[in-house]
Amino acid sequence: MNKRKVYGRIIILLGVIFILVAVGIVGFNIYTQMEGEKQRVQVMEQLETKITENKDNPKPNETIVDEKERTVNDCVIIDGVAYIGYISIPSLDIKLPVSKDWNDGLLNVGACRYKGSSYQDDLVICAHNYFSYFAKIYKLASGDEVVFTDVYDESITYEVSNQEVIDGNDKDEMVKNVNDWDLTMFTCTFSGRTRQTVRCVRKINKSE
């Protein structure tokens, strides 16, 4: 067998290996998303139930916390995880639980608080670019509504102000001038190198 044929077979073999690896990675990502979606649904059901129970059945002698005194530490605990509420994006049919803290495990289940608080109008939320998570936030247009509901079942409605793409390593840019916006949402772009970022402002009712 001459060297040309040997090299040709090696190249074909390497090509097959690369394809199998790629298929394996895609398959693993799909499996991870499906498992995360199952957990998200379960957590959302429990979260909404607990929030409703907290509102409809306050504990004896419990003092209702005024909005000005509420903090990010006001949470609902589910399976040992603290959740500050949930976020809804009606135009994209998205509803995600928002955990107080963030890490890779929590990001599989829903969105996470990256920084700030809805009570201080500087909340920053992140989520994976899974299809039912933040994959489609790039489609949001100026004026589209985003709603955050806290553990007291109080909802804050925001309007999309603008979008930007930020370098994945530039953490300072993500929170720079964060007080200019009341809510920031971001997720990885498909390359993983940058972050699709949506800036929102609190919607003011005409009666206010």
> Dihedrals φ, ψ of 77, to 5°?
-100, 125
Closest CA to 110 of 157, 192, 156, 44: 44
User: By CB neighbour count within 10 A (0-12 exposed, 13-18 middle, 19+ buried), where does 73 fall?
Assistant: exposed
Q: Is 126 a catalytic residue?
A: no
Choosing from 75, 112, 126, 128, which is the catalytic residue? Answer: 128
Q: Give whole-number Cα distances, 165 to 21, 90, 177, in Å.
A: 30, 23, 15
Q: Is 112 among the residues known to form the active site?
A: no
* Active-site choice (112, 126, 188, 200): 188
Q: 51: closest CA among 155, 118, 157, 150?
A: 150
The residues assigned a catalytic role are 128, 188
